[in-house]
Amino acid sequence: MTSVGKPIHCKAVVAREAGKPLVIEEVVVSPPKAHEVRIKIICTSLCHSDITLWKWKEPPGYFPRILGHESAGIVESIGEEVNEFEKGDFVVPVLLANCKECIDCKSTKSNQCETLPFKMSPFMPRDDTSRFTDMKGEALYHCLHISSFSQYTVVDVAHVVKINPAIPPDRACLLSCGLSTGVGAAWKTAKVEAGSTVAIFGLGVIGLAVAEGARLCGANRIIGIDLNPAKFESGKKFGVTDFVSPQNIGTKSVSEGWGKTVVVGVDNPKSDINLNCYDVLHHGKTLTGSLFGGLKAKSDVPTLVNWYLDKKLQLDEFVTHEMKIEDVNEAFELLLEGKCLRCVLWMDK
């Protein structure tokens, strides 16, 4: 019996309260509407952004919610006005839209999308409604327009990338957010040149992905700046050549006139960044953010997939744990305690 055009009942991980243990529930996933696809999630990896959104008690923290956004899966069905995908396509959802039609998506200067600008909405991006309900009929909030902690999810086509199915799903999911962000921050945002020096503040998974991106760009020296020297040893296989303590090092560490500081990550929307006016006005230094690593998802993520298949891009080393969906709370603890880089959850095992 076909599921096309009908609601699907499946297992999902639901965050009922901020910071409380996650619950495995049966949920109902609606059919895709226009410009949407319904995806069978094969596996999903945990990202610190999931932890952040799980902890926030106020917006952009919303509950009850299906978290998760790093994933890979198969298109189960498509909605109206969908020409880019068909049933059976191997895809990764991405948090940053790429409609390919607006002035921003056509520009080489930005990876933003004018049609569907990035926002921390708990709903689908075009109509601000949910495609999930629990067994009591209560709507469940989305996460970054993806919600991959569910065996099935509905995603707008602008947030979906078709990729080469030769890459294993437990590696493909890494390119849905974190690894792409780190590699792209070096490749696209910082535009690291061969022979340059790159300093990375923090050697978590994103920092190590930045190191991998810098290595691919031909950086001559990659410095890890962290309070924990033990992380230097783990960083060596990702190209980190030196370790420096963070005392007295900040934006002053970049070269005057052409140095660039790239900030990657998620923070509270009410947070501020303070700059020294001399560094900006007199020394010409640049501070910039890097949303999704400056990548245009539809074109750049398939490139990263090909780099992995050609053995140019390291992904295997980032996966330290693989678990079942039922182990999600244990996986969260590993991430909270800093005992894993990426933990992959298989949704059907």
Q: Would you say 153 and 39 are in contact if contact means Cβ atoms under 8 Å apart?
A: yes
pLDDT digits (tens, 9 = 90+) for 203-243: 789 999 999 999 999 999 998 887 576 777 778 888 898 87
The tens digit of pLDDT for each residue in 296-343 reads 999 999 999 999 999 999 999 999 999 999 999 999 999 999 899 999
**pLDDT of the residue at 248:** 44
Q: Where are the domains of the chain?
A: 8-42+56-177+296-346, 179-293
pTM of the model: 0.92
Q: What is the pLDDT of residue 274?
A: 74
Q: Give the domain 8-42+56-177+296-346 fold.
A: Quinone Oxidoreductase; Chain A, domain 1 (3.90.180)
CB 118 within 8 A of CB 124: no
Query: What average pLDDT does the chain have?
Result: 91
In the chain, the percentage of residues whose pLDDT exceeds 90 is: 74
Residue 280: pLDDT above 90?
no
Task: Read off the pLDDT of each residue in 155-172 and give the average, rounded to a whole number.
Answer: 98
- CATH no., domain 179-293: 3.40.50.720
